[in-house]
Structure 1
Amino acid sequence: MSMHFQTPPSYNNFIAGKECAAASGKTFDTTNPTTGERWGDFALSSAEDVDAAVRAARKAFDGAWGEMSPALRGKLLTAWGERIAKNAQLIGSIESTQNGKLLAEMQLQATISEDWLRYFGGLADKIEGSVIPVARQSVLNYTLREPIGVIAVITAWNSPTFLNIMAAAPALAAGNTLVLKPSEVTSASAVELAKLAAEVGIPDGVVNVVTGYRETGEALIDHPLISKVSFVGSVHAGREIGARAGRRLITSTLELGGKSPNIVFGDADLELAEIGVLAGIFAAAGQTCVAGSRAYIHKSVYDRLVERLVIRANMIKLGDPLLADSQMGPIATKSQLEKDETMVARALECGAELLAGGSRRTVEGFPKGQFFAPTILHKVTGENPIIVNEVFGPVLAITPFESDEEVLALANNSEFGLAAGVWTNDIRRAHLMARKLQAGTVWINTYRALASNSPFGGYKSSGNGRNNGIESINQYLQTKSVWCELSTVAQDPFVLRA
């Protein structure tokens, strides 16, 4: 058996370059989903703690960070990324024991955070305004692209380091400062990231962390010195956060839920499609917003591919996520485990047929572990709740189709639009599908591919704004127009001049 943390750790907030307990002295506990035992405890932050963090961020924005040259900011971000990558094993172990995802994936996400910080660090000194050729030649008009201020970053529990860095990298490169509020399920890695930022010389107050529950996040969004919110989480929470931010007339970038279709045509390479469909839903135990939880398979290959999927699903090894031979870990929280059970039961009541899994599993050595078997359902109609609602667990719903028009209608008949997969060797069909699918990302003959320089975000209820790429850094900037009269001839102050 692998070694989990033998002594439950304690984490404080990280504010103005220092670790500090909650002002109230209160803490909250988290659970290791593999063992079912207590993982550790964290500061339970109140509005007072949030105020201290935001004011520290504002001080850094007005001072050391705001006065620093963009080139030096970029170098510090690059150094931060290198330091995170060097500590990927520690960060990966922390996250794997907090959310149950495989250690290999959590380590990889920490490692590739270096790519994100290097990319956006390189963009820091390439933010430029422009000169506007206005009609009046005696006037110089130009624009400045300036940071917004203090950014509230509120992230989900499924990929904490990766999600924090996806928001932090462009925000900091643009010259803003941050207050991170991680999920109460996986708070430890955010504190570790902030400490590593301080180690490489990023000034105190640039990266702050407050831990706690919903009330902590609400206090953060409502703080008058917060200028923008970046959020990753559920649609319901995203709507509440967007509305809360909107009441203060500040903007928000929201990456929300998904119910992504994975479409397999009759001419697809079935070996690749099989791997893609399985990895799309089971690689992270379905605990990812881009999970390919709806598979649409052409009738000509339906029986053959479904049989292969069921065989492979039943072979997936559930186990300790810290062990290399485990292929799927536990479900992160008890409430999510109960949701998986409830939604599968409801789907069966509504006519779906169970082909694999469908229930909790006991893994040897972990009698309290929160494991759920890889589950496959078919004969799932468009009205079945398992097709309509996001599960966020290892549950795949399969539906046959006959024509391109039919599968497009099925795939787009959803409030979500985060991602979609297309498996075909017909290049015309592939790109026509990419155009017509209502999703922010379309993968052709691959799945779950992301890059620091490629925009990522959702259509419809899957959110607004984009992470990654130049498009994302622009969301953390505001434009100022500067006008300067160069003529020494007196002008009539009551005449509007172009």
Structure 2
Amino acid sequence: MIADAYPDADLRPIIAGRPTDPRSDRLLVLTDPATGRETARYAGSGQATVDQAVAAARSAFTGDWGLMGPGERMAILHRFADLVDREGDTIARADRIDVGKPISAARAEAGVAAGFIRYYAQAIDKAQRGIVAPTGIAATELQLRRPRGVIGMIVPWNYPVINLALKIAPALAAGNSVVAKPSEISPRSALILARLGAEAGLPAGTLSVLPGDGATGEAITVHGDIDMISFTGSTATGRAIMRGIGQSTLKPILLECGGKSPELLFDDMAGQDLDAIAAHIVAGAYANQGQLCVARTRLYIEDGLYEPLLDRVLAHAGALKAGDPDDPATTYGPLASDKQRATVERYIVDGIEAGAEMLLDGRRSTTGCFLEPTVFAVRGCDIALTRKEIFGPVLAVSRFRGEAEAIALANATAYGLAATIWTRDIGRAHRMARSVTAGTVKICSTPNPREGAGFAHAAEPARQSGFGIEGGLAALDSYSRLQSVEFRY
């Protein structure tokens, strides 16, 4: 049983299932974003600790974990998922304190994390991971998927436990060992997962978690004995990681970076339940207070439905009120940090100064990092509100006329992560999905991780949103390499 009382838990790195000296004098401070109160101080993991974790991961990969059969690996990951479910309340409390998540949302996210681990446990003996290639009559070529080895992972603060589970589950299922760094402001739930993995039976060194800041992340990304990096975070940090790896070890990278995702609604939705559609749009824009890489932060409405839909969107957005994240009834909490709130408020001021019309102002003079939904009406696509990833509760709304303009507006961005199209015309739906540059396109739908298709969802971002596939069975290929073995008789 995880017995640590939060916020006073042990925040030392977990290596080989045990807390370890971080061997660093870089002191990091954790603050409850709902109250502004300091909750803990801890030392970021230093270079020597990174070296120790990587050595343990290499030993696990070449030893017990790497040599383990699929049945035993499945059993361990199933136990891991069960333990995450068991400790869901503790995990939820950790993310509530670190990043201000409403406790009910944090509890649900712990369940999603367990679901990802369970999905990949079930896939271990079912995914067909090799073929026999056509060759001459006296030869046989086997094309096999091999684990990459030691995977370094860096995960963000917006969905701490989900993002970590989404990465470690397929990597472990594919036979790799993992050294993971959570965001410096959200280490607690990651450390819990490391302890639970050890309790489930992961061999020592298979999963290590190293809390720390950018220096810890850099030590991981350029480490000579790490075989691959998997990163989710900002495009700026993704670029820095690519530069560092390009100048050092030239290892493969999986990057999921920023997004500025569009939502487009066509006139042919007239006669449908616009109020329900508006509720979906608001959910897609303001889930997790807009701190979501696939948040639909650009809303484009065709002329004929612009006013009636916008009125409903404003009503639903205005009804979202920030509340106490410790209250199970609260669905909208604070932003994750003072820094994030200040960043979002700067974008709001920039929008006003650029001439955008503010339709809903979510700024409030309150204690904590609270910022409620904000909506702008925008003309054109050349201001920061429509170009930059704000990562907060700000929605830019514009009108369009016809498919050609809709496509041009949707693609007027450096990103290519996700998009949503609302249309009753199946032909138009296919044309738009083909024409809009995005890794995921939803038709009359909103993001919703769930059993079945939700856990099986896989996609690859485009443009400056990154590259590499996460999710679904395809993720097993992301965390493996293709090896050809030829036999001649």
Q: TM-score, normalised by structure 1?
A: 0.92
SS at match of 2:250: coil
TM-superposed deviation, 1:133: 2.8
**Aligned-partner Cα distance in 1 for 2:64–2:139:** 34
User: Would the aligned equivalents of 1:8 and 1:41 in 2 still touch at CA under 8 Å?
Assistant: no
Partner of 1:484: 487
**Aligned-partner Cα distance in 1 for 2:31–2:173:** 35
2:135 is equivalent to residue 120 of structure 1: no
1:400-445 CA deviation, whole Å, 9 max, x = no partner? 1111111110011110111111122222222221121110001111
1:284-317 CA deviation, whole Å, 9 max, x = no partner? 1000001111000111111122122222222212
User: Would the aligned equivalents of 1:361 and 1:373 in 2 still touch at CA under 8 Å?
Assistant: no
**Aligned-partner Cα distance in 1 for 2:6–2:151:** 36
2:67 is equivalent to residue 64 of structure 1: no
**Aligned-partner Cα distance in 2 for 1:277–1:97:** 28
Partner of 2:194: 194
User: Would the aligned equivalents of 1:221 and 1:245 in 2 still touch at CA under 8 Å?
Assistant: yes
1:59-100 CA deviation, whole Å, 9 max, x = no partner? 100111011102211221121111111211211121122112
**Aligned-partner Cα distance in 1 for 2:15–2:128:** 28
TM-superposed deviation, 1:26: 5.4
TM-superposed deviation, 1:333: 1.2
**Aligned-partner Cα distance in 1 for 2:282–2:365:** 19
SS at match of 2:267: coil
Matches within 5 A, 1:404-415: 404-415=403-414
| Greater Cα offset, 321-330 or 120-129 | 120-129
TM-superposed deviation, 1:242: 2.2
TM-superposed deviation, 1:244: 2.1
2:82 is equivalent to residue 87 of structure 1: no
Matches within 5 A, 1:271-286: 271-286=275-290
SS at match of 1:226: coil
Letter in 2 for 1:174: A
The answer for unaligned runs of 5 or more in structure 2 is none
TM-superposed deviation, 1:20: 1.5
Partner of 1:313: 317
Matches within 5 A, 1:204-353: 204-247=204-247, 248-268=249-269, 269=272, 270-353=274-357
**Aligned-partner Cα distance in 2 for 1:139–1:325:** 65
Letter in 2 for 1:186: S
**CA separation of 1:47 and 1:353: change in aligned 2, threshold 3 A:** same
Matches within 5 A, 1:101-120: 101-120=101-120
**Aligned-partner Cα distance in 2 for 1:349–1:62:** 58
**Aligned-partner Cα distance in 2 for 1:457–1:164:** 18
User: Would the aligned equivalents of 1:9 and 1:41 in 2 still touch at CA under 8 Å?
Assistant: no
User: Would the aligned equivalents of 1:78 and 1:114 in 2 still touch at CA under 8 Å?
Assistant: no
**CA separation of 1:430 and 1:102: change in aligned 2, threshold 3 A:** farther
**Aligned-partner Cα distance in 2 for 1:7–1:118:** 28
Larger radius of gyration: 1
SS at match of 1:11: coil
Partner of 2:400: 401
Q: TM-score, normalised by structure 2?
A: 0.94
**Aligned-partner Cα distance in 2 for 1:445–1:482:** 46
SS at match of 2:254: strand
Matches within 5 A, 1:383-394: 383-394=382-393
TM-superposed deviation, 1:246: 3.3
**Aligned-partner Cα distance in 2 for 1:183–1:46:** 15
1:451-471 CA deviation, whole Å, 9 max, x = no partner? 221213311111101111121
1:357-411 CA deviation, whole Å, 9 max, x = no partner? 142342xxxx3x1111210000342111110101000000000111111111001
Partner of 2:183: 183
SS at match of 1:229: strand
**Aligned-partner Cα distance in 1 for 2:342–2:282:** 22
Residue-pair matches, total: 476
Letter in 2 for 1:414: T
TM-superposed deviation, 1:259: 0.5
Letter in 2 for 1:318: A
Partner of 2:422: 423
User: Would the aligned equivalents of 1:13 and 1:43 in 2 still touch at CA under 8 Å?
Assistant: no
2:489 is equivalent to residue 459 of structure 1: no
2:468 is equivalent to residue 469 of structure 1: no
User: Would the aligned equivalents of 2:261 and 2:297 in 1 still touch at CA under 8 Å?
Assistant: yes
CA RMSD for the aligned pairs?
Answer: 1.6
TM-superposed deviation, 1:25: 6.1
The answer for unaligned runs of 5 or more in structure 1 is 487-498
